[in-house]
Structures are given as structure tokens and as C-alpha cells.
């Protein structure tokens, strides 16, 4: 079945360093890849997304890259800050199905 | 959390009891979803509805039921058949993507605990 693998499960960085989270998807028909940030006890918040017609998208300190051939996509956070500490989820879906398949999540800790 | 509200924030269930979680959205979204989140795991789809009066089972529908009588509302009932209901429940709704893909927005969640 459809599956999304996310690594690492935990990531600890020093403030100011970069953080990279990687995901691999199994369904080659997937064409939409959102990333969510979830703080403790709250619902996930969309932070960035990418569609299969582009290879990279950037929004200030956050960027996402997509390699359709390898079925990989990654989240890059530069100049990390303590408020970036949270659980991050990747997901994948096909257009018009509305069904998101989520990765297992990465707990990011940014040490001041 | 956008225009999606979930209530209550915490819910306690006694053994053998059915409980209903509320989800309301004022975003005029057609599609709505229910996910279950367990510690250390990703979100798993319980049920979803793409239009009023229609809904489909997700990956873990057993022990749950839903209704979609209004566009704004998608309540989830956790029945007594669900033997391990303790989890964080998240509701979401979808805005169709402008160039393909579905942008989902989540509510704040309901934490269900068993007494």
C-alpha cells in the first residue's frame, strides 16, 4: 500500500545550525507534498508544501526539495531558533483524492 | 487552527460508553477528515467525507462512526467496539489546491482518555 517513511525520528541541533528531515514515498502517482509543524498539545500547522511540477520551494528559513525520480523529498531549516523545536511531519497525496499519507514524524530540538 | 474548531479539548470515556467528538469548520470547505494520533506515530486516517451526506472509511475505521449532515460539521463517534480509544483525535478540512494537490487545515484536537 501507500507508505511514507520519514527520518530521522529525533534530531537535536544547536541554535543557528541547519536541520534536514528526509522523507521517501512509495506511490509514484503522488504529486503533492506538504510539511506540517506540530507543537505539544496542538493540531499540525502547514509550514510549506510543494507540488510535483517544481523541484524546490523556499520560504524565508524553510525550504523543501523534491526528487521525483528517487521519490524523495526533504525539509531544510536554516539558522534554527529555539522556537523551531516541535514535531515535524511530511505527507504525500495524489491530486484530487484528498487523502494524505503521513510520515511518522521527527522531533526537532533546537538547543540555545 | 484557521476556522476549524474541535470540542471538547479533553474527553473521558467509561468502559462500554459511546462518545462523540465535535468538529466544525467555517471555511466553506467541501472535504473533511478525522485522524487518530498515537505517541511516536504519524497521523492515521479514520474517516473522510468529500461532500455532504457521503463519507468513506479510512485506514482504521473499525470502532468508529461518522455523519455528514451539514457541510460545516463532521462529528466522530467512538463506539464501545473501539477497545483502545485513548489517543489524540484531529479533524481537518480541505481547500482544493490552485494547481493540483489538497491543502489540509487542522483543528486543535481532542484528547480522549479512558477511565
Rounded Cα gap, residues B25 and B92, in angstroms: 9
CA–CA distances in Å: residue A62 to residues A34, A40, B65, B75: 13, 21, 38, 35
Per-run averaged pLDDT (10 residues), chain B, 115 residues: 86 91 94 92 91 93 97 96 93 72 87 90
As a whole number, mean pLDDT of residues A19-24 equals 98
Q: Is A43 on the interface with B (CB under 8 A)?
A: yes
- Mean of the per-residue pLDDT values of chain A: 93
Q: Residue A95's pLDDT is what?
A: 66
Q: How far is B41 from chain A (nearest CA, A)?
A: 5
Segment A43-90, tens digit of pLDDT: 999 999 998 888 999 999 999 999 999 999 999 999 999 999 999 999
Q: Is A3 on the interface with B (CB under 8 A)?
A: no
CB pair distance less than 8 Å for B102 and A100: yes
As a whole number, mean pLDDT of residues A3-26 equals 97
Q: Residue A64's pLDDT is what?
A: 97
Q: Is B100 on the interface with A (CB under 8 A)?
A: yes
Look at A94 and B78; give whichever has higher pLDDT: B78
Q: Which three cell numbers stand for residue A58?
A: 523556499
User: What burial class does residue A89 get, using C-beta atoms within 10 Å of its C-beta: 0-12 exposed, 13-18 middle, 19+ buried?
Assistant: buried
Segment B38-67, tens digit of pLDDT: 987 889 999 999 889 999 999 999 999 999
Of B63, B68, B29, which is closest to residue B48 (Cα–Cα)?
B68
Amino acid at each position: 500500500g501507500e507508505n511514507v517513511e520519514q527520518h530521522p525520528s529525533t534530531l537535536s541541533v544547536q541554535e543557528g545550525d541547519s536541520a534536514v528531515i528526509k522523507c521517501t514515498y512509495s506511490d509514484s502517482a503522488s504529486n503533492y507534498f506538504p510539511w506540517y509543524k506540530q507543537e505539544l498539545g496542538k493540531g499540525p500547522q502547514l509550514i510549506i508544501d510543494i507540488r510535483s511540477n517544481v523541484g524546490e520551494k523556499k520560504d524565508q528559513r524553510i525550504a523543501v526539495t523534491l526528487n521525483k525520480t528517487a521519490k524523495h523529498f526533504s525539509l531544510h531549516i536554516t539558522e534554527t531558533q529555539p522556537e523551531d523545536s516541535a514535531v515535524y511531519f511530511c505527507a504525500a497525496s495524489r491530486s484530487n483524492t484528498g487523502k494524505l499519507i503521513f510520515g511518522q514524524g521527527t522531533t526537532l530540538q533546537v538547543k540555545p | 487552527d484557521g476556522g476549524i474548531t474541535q470540542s471538547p479539548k479533553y474527553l473521558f470515556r467509561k468502559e462500554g460508553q459511546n462518545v462523540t467528538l465535535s468538529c466544525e469548520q467555517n471555511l466553506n470547505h467541501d472535504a473533511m477528515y478525522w485522524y487518530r494520533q498515537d505517541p511516536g506515530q504519524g497521523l492515521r486516517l479514520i474517516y473522510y467525507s468529500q461532500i455532504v451526506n457521503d463519507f468513506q472509511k479510512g485506514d482504521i475505521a473499525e470502532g468508529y462512526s461518522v455523519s455528514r449532515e451539514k457541510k460545516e460539521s463532521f462529528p466522530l463517534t467512538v463506539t464501545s467496539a473501539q477497545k483502545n480509544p485513548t489517543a489524540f483525535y484531529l479533524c481537518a478540512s480541505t481547500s482544493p489546491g490552485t494547481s493540483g494537490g489538497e491543502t489540509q487545515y487542522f483543528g486543535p484536537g481532542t484528547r480522549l482518555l479512558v477511565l
